[in-house]
Amino acid sequence: MEIWNRHFECMERDELKKVQSERLRETIERVYYNVPFYRNKMQAAGLGPESIRTTDDLHKLPFTTKQDLRDNYPFGLFAVPMSEIVRVHASSGTTGKPTVVGYTRRDISTWSEVMARTLTCAGADRNDFIHIAYGYGLFTGGLGLHYGGEKIGASVIPVSGGNTIRQLQLLVDFGGTVLACTPSYALFLSEAIEEAKINRDDLKLRVGVFGAEPWTENMRREIEEKLRIKAIDIYGLSEVIGPGVASECLIQDGLHISEDHFYPEIIDPNTLEVLPEGKTGELVFTTITKEGLPLIRYRTRDLTRLRYERCRCGRTTVRMEKCLGRSDDMLIIRGVNLFPSQVESVLLEMSEIKPHYLLVVDRVNNLDTLELQVEVDEAFFQDKISQLQTLRQKIQTNLESTLGLGIKVNLVEPKTIERSEGKAKRVIDKRKL
């Protein structure tokens, strides 16, 4: 297994800590003098740049949130003059303003470096054809993969998202070996390949790098089976840099974080205390090399845990577990926390159905109601009402025992739940209307 940057990815942990601490000091110095937002917050907490000597001091600093980015929209948190910024990206704001991020020339080079590590982690090299079906544009997915692909010398096919017919044609004609897109789009493509009656042997796909949304182990199995590829989970968020923050290696046992650039912590989202190794909580990042938009203790809202032991692949970088949902996605139904990914896991365990579902939350007479629409699988459908009713009951029972919540299950016709070509829409919460 190749490793792109052995020096940093396999560094002894005490040596790595020295590198991280030094980079952290530089970052704190820069934000203190260049970003009023950080200076004010630090001063309010009675801290100066000299207060932060090593990564052990990080916990003294206040957190940064997405709201802080919005409040300083668009460029208020940039730490360099705009003349130094060579690129701007923005994440789609589902509520309110988008979050804007800026990159200096060195940031772009850092991003290419960590993406090169990601692709190498997935076993890609200069001989590969990387079919990029992530969107290009303000979204960081497309261009992030693009620069990483070029950095490792692979042949990059910048298809961008959407237009499934063209995706299929290019996959066959250009012989992409690495597929890069969201996991839900990978599933969508696998169905489209089946429907278009494309012979799998006409495809050269070997591996997929999938991210930008949470997905389950079961979904991974389904993708791997249907597309006959290895499905690698990659992680990133535009605020931190975009894709490239962390990636699974071929061992598929946790995602290696590029720790020499992004320093992770796990906190309890309620008490905001740093949690010890191995505990599940909210992932927090401090960027320690970024120039354009350095972030101090940025709360990602992603729930995961960290493991520091050396991986069998030889990398020493900390591994985060596959994220199972953002705390933003968390629904509170009658006081019970619910992640759509939990529903998905239950459905994927059942061979009678496909995990195409929609959760509808509503409030009737001051009581939250939860309805699940799930498609009847064509292959499973027979002629009996009783068979369908049994299935419905089984889904309901399985869900209720896993979620600890009453749920109404409705069977719907095949292909009636909207397939998404980007992030899958799994929840309609009518309570907010």
Partner 1 sequence: MIIHQLSVFLENKSGRLTEVLNALGSENIRITALSVADTSEFGILRMIVSDPQKARDILKNRQFAVNLTDVISIMAPSEAKYYAMVLKILSDLEISIEYTYAFSVGEKSVIILRSSNTDEAIKALKAHEMELIKASDLYKI
User: CA 197 to CA 431: how far, in whole Å?
Assistant: 42
| Paired tokens of 428 | 């309609």
Q: Could you say whether residue 10 binds Zn ion (CB under 5 A)?
A: no
249 binds, among Zn ion, partner 1, none (CB under 5 to 8 A by kind): Zn ion
Q: At what angle do helices 105-121 and 140-151 cross, to 10 degrees?
A: 80
Minimum separation from the CB atom of position 191 to partner 1 (A): 11
Quick one: what does residue 246 bind among partner 1, Zn ion, none, with the CB cut-off 5 to 8 Å set by partner type? Answer: none
Pick between residue 108 and residue 412 the one whose CB is nearest to partner 1: 412
- Name the one range near Zn ion by CB under 5 A: 63-71, 163-171, 313-321, 329-337: 313-321
User: Out of partner 1, Zn ion, none, which partner does residue 377 contact, by CB within 5 to 8 A per kind?
Assistant: partner 1
Query: Which of 44/385 has CB closer to partner 1?
Result: 385
- Confirm or reject binding of residue 313 to Zn ion (CB under 5 A): yes
Handedness of CA 70, 73, 75, 77 (dihedral sign): negative
Separation between Cα atoms, residue 408 and residue 364, nearest integer Å: 14
Pick from 241, 311, 347, 372: which binds Zn ion (CB under 5 A)? 311
Interface contacts to partner 1, rule CB under 8 A: 376-378, 381-385, 388-389, 392, 410-416
Q: Which is nearer to Zn ion, 170 or 313 (CB)?
A: 313
How many angstroms separate the CA atoms of 287 and 152, rounded? 23
Give min distance, CB of 352 to partner 1, in A: 12
Cis preceding linkage at 355, omega within 30: no
Among residues 295, 293, 297, 296, which one has the least CA distance to residue 79?
A: 293
Residue 93: count of CB within 10 angstroms of its CB: 13
**Per-residue tokens: 166:** 């063209």
Q: Using the minimum distance from each CB to Zn ion, give the nearer residue, 135 or 254.
A: 254
Q: Which amino acid is at 201?
A: D
Shortest gap between Cβ of 311 and partner 1 (angstroms)?
Answer: 44
Question: How would you classify residue 124: left for phi > 0, otherwise alpha for psi between -120 and 50, otherwise beta?
Answer: beta
Which is closer to Zn ion, CB of 1 or CB of 332? 1
Closest contact distance (angstroms) between CB of 357 and partner 1 is 15
The item of partner 1, Zn ion, none sharing an interface with residue 163, based on CB under 5 to 8 Å by kind, is none
The conformational region for residue 20 under phi > 0 = left, psi -120 to 50 = alpha, else beta, is alpha
Q: In what order do the strands lie in the sheet with 230-237?
A: 155-157, 129-132, 178-181, 207-210, 230-237, 242-248, 255-257, 319-320, 306-307
User: Is position 170 an interface residue for Zn ion (rule: CB under 5 A)?
Assistant: no
The only residue of 152, 249, 331, 347 in contact with Zn ion, by rule CB under 5 A: 249
Contacted by 311, from Zn ion, partner 1, none: CB < 5 to 8 Å by type:
Zn ion
Q: How far is the CB of 183 from Zn ion (least distance, A)?
A: 20
35: helix, coil or strand? coil
Q: List the single partner that 165 binds among Zn ion, partner 1, none, CB under 5 to 8 Å by kind.
A: none
Binding site for Zn ion (CB under 5 A): 249, 251, 311, 313, 315
